[in-house]
Amino acid sequence: MSKKCLNSAVLPRTFGLSALMLCMSMNVNAADVVQIQAQGNDALTQVLSGLNNPGTASNIQSSVSHAAMVGATYALTPIKGSMRTVKGTEHTRYQLTYNNIDVLGQQAITHSAKGKGLNVTGQMMAGIERDIKNFKPKFSHAQALDKLKSPNGGIGVLAAKSTRTFLNEQSQLVIVQNSNKKAHLAYLVSYFTEDKAGGNPSRPFAILDANNLKVLKSWDGLTTDQIGTGPGGNEKTGIYSYGTDFDALKVTTSDDGFCSMENANVKTIDLNHGVNGSEAFSYLCPENTHKEINGAYSPLNDAHSFGNVIFDMYSDWYGAAPLSFQLEMRVHYDTDYENAFWNGSSMTFGDGLTTFYPLVSLDVAAHEVSHGFTEQNSNLIYADQSGGMNEAFSDMAGEAAKFYARGSNDWKLGFDIMKDPERALRYMDNPPNDGISIDHVDGYYDGIDVHHSSGVYNKAFYNLATTDGWGTRKAFDVMVHANQNYWLPDSSFHSGMCGVMSSAQDLGYNVNDVEAAFELVGLKGTSINYISPSDGKVMINNRNNVLAVELLNCTSAAGASVVISISNGDVVTLHDDGVEGDSTANDGIYSAHWVPSVAGSVVMTTTINFNDITTVREDTVNVIDLVDYQVSNEVYQWTDTSGGTCVFVGDEGTEQLPLPFEFSFYGVDYNSVNIVANGFLTFSNFDGYSWTNSPIPMDSEPNNMIAALWTDIESSNGTVCAVTEGVAPNRKLTIGWQNVAYYPNFGDVSFSVTLEEGSNDIVYNYKDVEFGDASIDFGADATVGVEHLTGEFGTQHSYNQAVILNETSIRLSQHSVGEDTDTDGDGITDNLDNCVDHANPNQVDADNDGMGNRCDIDFNNDGQVNTTDARMMKTLFRSRDPVADLNEDGAISGADLVIYRELWMAKK
């Protein structure tokens, strides 16, 4: 992959250019993300012109077609309510659309200062027409929403749809990129759901391919965490009185002498241990003492007071309400509920139990309200690095609110509501104090919980707020300004930092102080991002690997020097001059081809020299011999796992299981594995939805997987358990799905995966794979195989083929594959051979199961070849559908001579 820059200026990520600059990551077969930095009164027009007429750009390779579809064009539409003026600079957000469809996360932001012309920042997706040819989705909005509504509501809690309520249902047709940078027509769907009887709230979001409803990305967006007197506080803070110790509550009075907890800005609701309610709580004026619970004296009073404090802080400091609607504070949610959350329209607080007092505190309330502020401004996606920023901004707001109300900070989020006298929820001055949060970008990994990755920005905020000449409000100023005017929905830690630095410049604050605060958490104005190798840091020995690093910079990178050295002595020269594997000159992507000379662990040292400043980064890379898997038949043996270590994964859940021994998969050693409900294991972090199986290899998650029977499984009424047998160094771990159904609750099957110590072989065991419907029996709607962590290669045994029989097993053996290795001497190298151990130069595979006929001798391992195997025939045709047509040739199975012939022709 390389990066393209359109139009006259070709300096990456440059502020203050006199001409338009568009930089994009280029893949000939995929849409490209364009980073925008442009100046000039016609900059916005040039952006659109560059997207709609990219062929006019000076450095687009003629071999790449960018011709726009007839009638399908790019447009930029102002986002309603996004325009604001700060210190003479007017900021306006624009949403990118293509063919009148929003391109998710792609926005331009204009910054217009009097006398300084127009400045445009943001990012665009170009080349959509290369990937999407038809803009009419095969599935409807309703079908997309229904797909997301699994029986457990998408949150891993067993509950049928009939027992849950669904609110705020939303479905939007959008254009997105998948993990391989390919554009898809998709639905962005979400809703809020909770049990009708109370509890288990969730706000699932998913991006579903509009043509097959495959999940491209998913996450839970439930963000957690006039006269009126009365008590407040809890046993930890001590009791205090509104109207005496603090301002009186801002309530509304009526002629009958009652006070209502509602004003123009805030409404407070007593749910009274239910989950629904919309009426403001009222009481006999002037004092409210309702109600003392779980060590707190009146959570209703606190919630109403804190809501008004938060509203006043945003209004006094920034001249705007935190939300575009009245704040709703819902108190006494459910029974013994130990959390607080923002559901997209209101703040809800539980009463706690053993860990928490009622979860109404000023910082927690400000935290939840500020999720709404973010949602209505940058709309940071609640996943990945943007999700960590989203959480951190709300934590910052909590400290800002304490400073606004009290004039000081303790840097301990949620300290007031935790029953442990020494503990807080999070520590902004030292995030690792909670035992799990990170405070440096080096600690970040894909899949980390956003509450824990928030520590990077939390610590940067603390660093800035405690810098001489700053303070809590001033530090919050630049974060609010960045949230409003620079951050994008999928901002990274680095691009977010650039936005904060730009905000400091806009507000006249010291930009160097901002940069220094972020540098302490590992974020620098100039830094290196590895594109390849990426996750897992694995390269293949004696193969042509692409090595690519991206120079991240908030200002012009012209004149930068980037060199790399390899500890094993291999010489690699990085290029940004359009030669030796680098596609585009001066684009910020430095690339090279590297053929490692020896397997093993090596250290790559990357050095940047830029503006007389040297930056060095070291990374360890594991160079492995190319490994593949060969498939062979195995003697069937079933192990009952129901009495072992069991996990509850329901319909779409994932649980991590520590391994009893180190296991090597594609040459990488692992100590734990993730068990996914839908019939597969993965060694990568995975928390998405996976009900739609895909062929192997595939261009999106899940990857790094062992797929025994990847299909839409509902395991709630069965068991998913693991047992370990034998002694070291020959132990076996078997993970079994027993008596599990096809979603929603059709039939039941049993199968397992066995991981073997020492040999690192994998065995799939199929006790019963007959659900009771020919369209899904025997693997007809499943993927079977293994796939490498990058998703670039794998071994597929079968995909949506009814070739997996009851009481059979198959073995997958790991072996190194050389360029010319040909184990059986049939002229077909092992990496291409469908039967590695038996010569089959014609690669005959009559049943199209991915295994050559020479390896198909005894499907059910009963010692009989298929020509005389009546038992196999009985199993194959034992269908509950009397007109089943297993091979879809138009003849029903009972009279299907074609399928008989194909199987009988398999001879050794």
Residue 667's domain spans which residues?
A: 626-816
Last residue of a domain, one of 816, 843, 867: 816
What value does the mean pLDDT of the chain take?
Answer: 81
State yes or no: pLDDT of 87 exceeds 50.
yes
**Do the bridges between strand 705-710 and strand 783-787 make them parallel or antiparallel, or are there none, so unpaired?**
antiparallel
Instruction: Tell me the pLDDT tens digit for each residue of 539-561.
Output: 888 777 778 887 787 866 666 78
Q: What is the pLDDT of residue 855?
A: 66
pLDDT, average across residues 745-756:
95
Which pLDDT band, with edges at 50, 70 and 90, does 471 fall under?
A: very high
Spatial CA neighbour of 735 closest among 769, 717, 695, 762: 762
CA nearest to 768, candidates 676, 886, 875, 632: 875
Asked which of 523, 554, 586 is the last residue of a domain, the reply is 523
- Contact status, residue 189 vs residue 183, Cβ threshold 8 Å: no
The residue among 212 and 415 whose pLDDT is bigger is: 415
Tell me if 177 is assigned to some domain.
yes
With a cut of 90, say whether residue 455 has pLDDT above it: yes
What pLDDT is recorded for position 280?
93
Please say if the pLDDT value at position 144 is more than 90.
no
pLDDT in tens, 814-855: 877 654 566 677 777 665 677 766 777 778 877 665 567 766
pLDDT band at 526 (very low <50, low <70, confident <90, very high): confident
End position of a domain, from candidates 563, 598, 624: 624
Radius of gyration of the chain (CA): 30
Written as six digits, the tokens of 338 are 């130990």
pTM of the shown model: 0.63
| Catalytic residue list | 368, 451
pLDDT tens per residue, range 514-523: 999 999 999 9
pLDDT, tens digit (0-9, with 9 covering 90-100), for 875-886: 444 444 444 554
Regarding whether 681 and 799 lie in a shared domain, the answer is: yes
> Do 608 and 713 reside in the same domain of the chain?
no
Total of domains in the chain = 7
| Spatial CB neighbours of 412, under 8 Å, sequence gap ≥ 6 | 424, 425, 426, 427, 428
Q: CA angle 589-787-838, nearest 5°? A: 125
Question: Do residue 368 and residue 280 come from a single domain?
Answer: yes
Helix (H) or strand (E) holding 66: none
Amino acid identity of 760? N
Query: Which residues are within 8 A (CB) of 62 and not within 5 positions of it... i.e. 6 or more apart?
Result: none
Flag whether 848 is in a domain: no
Residues 503 and 611 in one domain: no
Burial 882-891 (b: 16+ CB within 10 A, else e): eebebbeeee
Q: What is the pLDDT of residues 266-309, one digit of tens each?
A: 999 999 999 989 899 999 888 999 999 999 999 999 999 999 99
The CATH number that applies at residue 588 is 2.60.40.10
Shared domain check, 493 and 560: no
Quick count: other Cβ atoms within 10 Å of Cβ 743? 18
Whole-angstrom Cα distance, residue 245 to residue 230? 10
> 769 with 690, same domain?
yes
Q: Are 248 and 366 within one domain?
A: yes
The per-residue pLDDT for 688 is: 63
Residues 23 and 125 in one domain: yes
The answer to whether residue 414 sits within a structural domain is: yes
Lowest-confidence region among 3-17, 86-100, 307-321: 3-17
Task: Answer whether residue 771 shows pLDDT above 90.
Answer: yes
Report the SS3 class of residue 686.
Answer: coil
CA-CA distance, 410 to 415, in Å (whole number)? 9
